[in-house]
């Protein structure tokens, strides 16, 4: 004895489940492609833009007492988009860590300088009358930032 009215039973399972799986895989692939294209595109744009941006004006200061360190570091960074206006020594060679001093630059230039030098520590010493945007004080860890 059959309990269906017209003898026809409906199948409620999807007709072609592989289509849904294929659509899901394609969406994931497109999302990954968009992510990696954007990530690598931004890196390339930042590198290209550095050539078009104005040079960052800095003073390089020897903070650890090693003879001619500031002059040697100035030569080392000459190929980067950094304009060294002067070299100096701190009054007391007490710096064990290198630091960037923000005189009258902005945060975007600070990030550029951090990327170019590798020095991440910074401090603010706002001086709008200064002719340099930043002072790079080299500490005893200077070898970490002078790699070839």
The 10s digit of each residue's pLDDT in 57-73 is 999 999 999 999 999 99
Whether residue 48 has pLDDT greater than 60: no
29/12 Cα distance (integer angstroms): 30
The 10s digit of each residue's pLDDT in 92-147 is 999 999 999 999 878 999 999 999 999 999 999 988 899 999 999 999 999 999 88
Sort residue 60 into left (φ over 0), alpha (ψ -120 to 50) or beta. Answer: beta
The 10s digit of each residue's pLDDT in 69-88 is 999 999 999 999 999 999 99
59/82 Cα distance (integer angstroms): 10
- Residue indicated by tokens 């004006």: 57
pTM for this one?
A: 0.67
| Segment (H or E) for 43 | helix 17-52
- How many CB atoms sit inside 10 A of residue 115's CB? 14
Q: How confident is the model at residue 4 (pLDDT cuts 50, 70, 90)?
A: low
């Amino acid at each position: 004895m059959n309990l269906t009215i017209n003898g026809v039973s409906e199948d409620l399972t999807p007709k072609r489940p592989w289509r849904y799986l294929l659509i899901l895989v394609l969406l994931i692939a497109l999302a990954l492609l968009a992510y990696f294209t954007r990530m690598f595109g931004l890196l390339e744009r930042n590198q290209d833009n550095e050539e078009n941006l104005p040079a960052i004006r800095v003073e390089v200061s020897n903070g650890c007492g090693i003879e001619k360190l500031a002059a040697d570091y100035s030569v080392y960074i000459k190929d980067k988009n950094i304009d060294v206006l002067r070299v100096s020594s701190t009054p007391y060679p007490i710096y064990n860590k290198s630091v960037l001093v923000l005189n009258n630059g902005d945060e975007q230039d600070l990030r550029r300088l951090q990327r170019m030098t590798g020095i991440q520590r910074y401090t603010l010493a706002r001086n709008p009358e200064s002719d340099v945007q930043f002072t790079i004080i080299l500490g005893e860890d200077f070898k970490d930032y002078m790699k070839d």
